[in-house]
């Protein structure tokens, strides 16, 4: 990373619904990983398949991305907020513009990025240190997270972030080029 960013970035996905949100929640975690976050925390309905997908991708494509389920996200968030040890960033269309907010996010402590699905409890807006919008139009948590992380972190060295990969994509203008260490 070419500039200062918080030492650890976690993403909390609130309000997951196993049937309706399976695909978008899965994509949210993969986007968190691919764009440089260190951890995704799932809340809402328990869904081991989401965690399995994220862990399986990390197993094949490398890095140390973590995933876990949080049973009581609101009491956990209250605790995190009270500790003052983590910056809570809530992505919402009602927040302040991201380009002007990002430079003031502290880089000397971890950050927790909170994204919703269904309606987010009003308390989240108060617990958050920053309510940040990626434009003030409604769109998607996946788009919001990708743009936020890219703006916060910028380009990074995938080789070191995703070290230990069994599968590695070699950028190519012609088609799929993949090195697979599992193949003989
Ligand atoms: N009314 C919601 C809101 O507060 O942004 C939109 C719900 S949207 C289906 C689900 C999640 O996507 C939101 O909880 C928020 O995290 C994210 N999101 C959607 N649009 C956004 C925007 N313009 N800026 C930041 N986050 C957004």
pLDDT tens for 118-127 read 889 999 999 9
Q: CB–CB of 49/25 below 8 Å? A: no
Residue 95 belongs to some domain of the structure: yes
Residue 142 belongs to some domain of the structure: yes
| 37 Cβ closer than 6 Å to some ligand 1 atom | no
For residue 125, what pLDDT is reported?
98
Q: How far apart are CA 116 and CA 43, in angstroms?
A: 10
Task: Give the number of domains in the chain.
Answer: 1
CATH number at residue 122: 3.40.1280.10
Output the residue whose Cα is nearest ligand 1's atom 15: 92
Residue 3 belongs to some domain of the structure: no
Mean pLDDT of 137-152: 98
Residues near 57 by Cβ (< 8 Å), separated by ≥ 6? 30, 33
User: For residue 101, what are the domain limits?
Assistant: 9-183
Residue 56 belongs to some domain of the structure: yes
Residue 4 belongs to some domain of the structure: no
3-state SS, residue 151: helix
Mean pLDDT of 152-175: 95
Mean pLDDT of 145-149: 98
Mean pLDDT of 103-132: 97
pLDDT above 60 (res 184): no
pTM score, whole prediction: 0.96
Residue 100 belongs to some domain of the structure: yes
For residue 183, what pLDDT is reported?
65
* Pocket test residue of 93, 95, 98, 152 for ligand 1, highest count of atoms within 8 A of CB: 93
Q: How far apart are CA 149 and CA 29, in angstroms?
A: 12
Residue 2 belongs to some domain of the structure: no
């Amino acid at each position: 990373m070419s500039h200062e960013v918080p030492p650890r970035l976690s993403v909390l996905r609130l309000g997951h619904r196993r049937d309706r949100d399976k695909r978008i929640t899965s994509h949210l975690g993969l986007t968190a990983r691919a764009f440089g976050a260190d951890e995704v925390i799932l809340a809402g309905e328990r869904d081991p398949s989401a965690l399995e997908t994220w862990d399986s991708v990390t197993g094949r494509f490398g890095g140390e991305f973590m995933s876990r389920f949080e049973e009581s996200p609101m009491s956990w968030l209250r605790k995190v907020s009270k500790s003052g040890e983590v910056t809570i960033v809530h992505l919402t269309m009602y927040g302040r513009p991201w380009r002007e907010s990002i430079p003031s996010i502290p880089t000397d402590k971890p950050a927790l990025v909170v994204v919703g699905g269904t309606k987010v409890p009003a308390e989240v807006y108060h617990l958050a240190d920053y309510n940040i919008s990626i434009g003030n139009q409604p769109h998607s948590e996946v788009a919001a997270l990708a743009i936020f992380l890219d703006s916060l972190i910028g380009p990074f060295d995938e080789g070191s972030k995703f070290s230990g990969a069994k599968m590695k994509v070699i950028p190519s203008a012609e088609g799929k080029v993949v090195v697979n260490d599992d193949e003989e």
